[in-house]
Amino acid sequence: MIDAVLMMGGLGIVIGSGLAAASKIFYVYVDPLVEKIDDLLPGANCGGCGYPGCGPNAEAIAAGKASPSSCVAGGADLAEAIAAVMGMSVEAKEPDIARPGCNYSVETAAQKFQYTGLSDCQAASLLYGGMKVCNIGCLGLASCMRACPFDAIVMGADGLPIVLEDKCTGCGTCERVCPKHIIKLSSVTRRILQEYTTEDCTTPCQRACPAGINIPAYISHVSEGDYSKAVQVIKERNPFPTVIGRICPRPCEDECRRTLVDEPVAINFLKRYAADVEFESGQRSQPFVAPATNRKIAIIGGGVEGLSAAFFAARLGHAPTVFEANPQLGGLLRKAIAGYRLPRNILEWDIEGIREIGVNTVTNATLGRDFTIASLLKEDFEAVILASGGFDSRTERLSGTKIEEPVPGVYLLIDVIKSAMENDGNVKLAKDVVIAGGTEIASTAVAICKQLGAENVSFVFRNSKADPALDQKQLDTLENSGANLIFDACITKFIGEDNQLTAIEYEDRNSKTAYVISAGNFIVDSGRLPELIFRRTGIADTDETPVDEPIYWEGIQPYKNPFYSEEKGLLAAGDPVTDYSAAIRAIAGGRRSAASVHMIMYDMDLTLPEKVLRSETVLQDVDSLENVNSSKRHIMPTCSVSEVPGRCPEIELGFSAQDASAEASRCLRCGIICYMPEHQRHELKKAG
């Protein structure tokens, strides 16, 4: 017995010693921060955060790879508690929700592929490419439904997924398992920042619309008589639905597939009808707005672009203020379009809708006279968007031929020449001057700049030296005059201090190397002033900047129109050389400016996705339609100009409810290349 006890005791000592040694050898360090975060997480291990359990999510949060609000099973209180542990604060987070992005199902496709033995979308995609007719459409095998940890997805009778919004937590599981990227997380911010890619289910009319309005969606709502929902869809991308319904040049209709059979759908007139119903009701249907961020943004210019930028900035949760030089907002909409085309009460209705969503406006406030970019930045504006329309809008701003310096140190070349010729002292140049581009009077410009005080004049050419914008004789003259010639370069940034321009950044288009050169003045040889976003640099972010503290700033361009996204720098191909050619294009420019400011403030990359739709993007399409009966386009009723405003308020009178319903029924409900044949539409109506 004693021997047994001694044996067991000795064995215990040996095992204990072994365990003690092992604990030192195999000791696993547990980060106290990870442990604290893990203790706060609910332990559901649902995978909704994108990690295989709460432990890995805690590690990701501690490492800065996941947000304190990444746990979809928790709420705002949990996010705040995790942020407090990490010594951070959390801005109000808007909810994400999954949204299917395909309009056409396998069940209704004219051509079907049988995925024999397969019941998973990813497997079908890998083995067969997932073709039905297009290679992008929903495969309909319900992988997203089975993967959803919250039972928030069901498959509809048409074979397309339906998201149950009351159950969806925005975890993104469905997005991760969909091989065709049909179902994606959506939120106000995501939708405003989105540029369409080849992975999105977009229709020809939607791609042709400069603002990217989801045209099939709002026409579908019009056909169902849900005009409020139609307007809400339109306002996702267009804050001026009532105005644009009257003046749009309608590029979308040029791409309508009904042209393969008869005439395009009256897309814009249907937009006008839905917006007019809202106008006549006096009750606005506003799009969703993200939670307030309390970040103030200044927008200079109260025309279409500026008001649109403010609208989208407000929807992103920010607090925009528009500064307009004229007594009234609206820009060229008010000054250049006749009342019988655009009644002023219609314009006011849309502008008031923009104000209503959270946009502050200040009129009779002129840049350079009442405020400067530096003074706005010295207040608590985090960014300033310049949307004044450029030099070519001076007449509209009632300043006539008065020389303007909208950005510190920036002039139009013709103003510099005029001031020198008249010796009026309106333009005094700094020591270092940079001129963008070159004209046949470039050598004259050098002499004039030196006459006005410049010592060093540099020309920045986008062209290469082998293919210059000027001939060799002109280049020799420039070099002999002492000008510095920079070829194959694009200007990427303005740099300044208070109300002085101090430098220009340009990039070599071959090496992609950035260079900074001293510049007290920047001169645009012709065209409009580039669109710019200004922000503070070089000083600490404080609630209030001391009065005597200089403001250091930089001005950069919003990201490009995706059709010209390969271009870089100011004054590039695709940039407007004058005011936007149509209001709908100015609206798109305003959204890009608002999106760019948001991305800059949150340190997001302004680079567009690789698969963004461009002018040269190759997409599947159709060149003929079958089983589609011809039907005539409904003509907009009009009055003669002589009857306006006596008998008619405007020259185009708008559709009746019957015309709108009948015209909406002409829409083919296109997917990528799919369409619904006439007999299937009738069968669907009977079933419904």
In this prediction, the residues of the chain whose per-residue pLDDT falls under 70 are 1-30, 44-48, 50, 72-76, 86-93, 109-116, 128-135, 390-402, 438-439, 538-547, 678-688
CA distances, 347 to each of 300, 341, 644, 646 (Å)? 20, 11, 18, 20
Q: In sequence order, what are the residues at sequence separation of 6 or more whose Cβ sits closer than 8 angstroms to the Cβ of residue 613?
A: 195, 196, 197, 198, 202, 207, 562, 563, 619
Contacts of 657 (CB under 8 A, 6+ apart): none
- Residue 465 CB contacts under 8 Å (≥ 6 apart), including other chains: 487, 488
184 backbone dihedrals φ, ψ, rounded to 5°: -140, 155
Residue 570 has which token pair? 């100011």
Report the chain's C-alpha Rg in angstroms: 30
Using the 8-state DSSP alphabet, how is residue 633 labeled? P
% of the chain at pLDDT higher than 90? 47
List domains and CATH numbers for the chain. Answer: 31-90 (1.10.15.40), 97-186 (3.30.70.20), 204-286+624-687 (1.10.1060), 292-322+348-405+529-619 (3.40.50.720), 408-527 (3.50.50.60)
- Residue ranges of alpha helices (H) inside 71-120 are 76-85
How far apart are alpha carbons 331 and 350 in whole angstroms? 13
Q: Which of 455, 442, 430 is nearest to 485 (CA)?
A: 442
Q: What is the pLDDT of residue 540?
A: 45
> What is the edge-to-edge ordering of all strands in the sheet holding 532-537?
360-362, 319-323, 296-300, 381-386, 532-537, 552-556, 489-497, 500-508, 514-518
Q: What is the mean pLDDT of the chain?
A: 85
**8 A C-beta contact, residue 188 and residue 94:** yes
Helices (H), 214-330: 215-223, 227-235, 241-247, 251-254, 267-281, 304-315
Asked if 675 contacts 622 with a C-beta cutoff of 8 angstroms, the reply is yes
pTM: 0.85
pLDDT value, residue 457: 94
pLDDT of residue 653: 92
Q: Residue 30's pLDDT is what?
A: 67
Identify which of 588, 18, 494, 572 has the alpha carbon closest to the alpha carbon of residue 248: 588
CB contact at 8 A, 137 and 673: no
Assess contact for 79 and 68: CB atoms under 8 A. Answer: yes
- Which pLDDT score is estimated for 76? 64
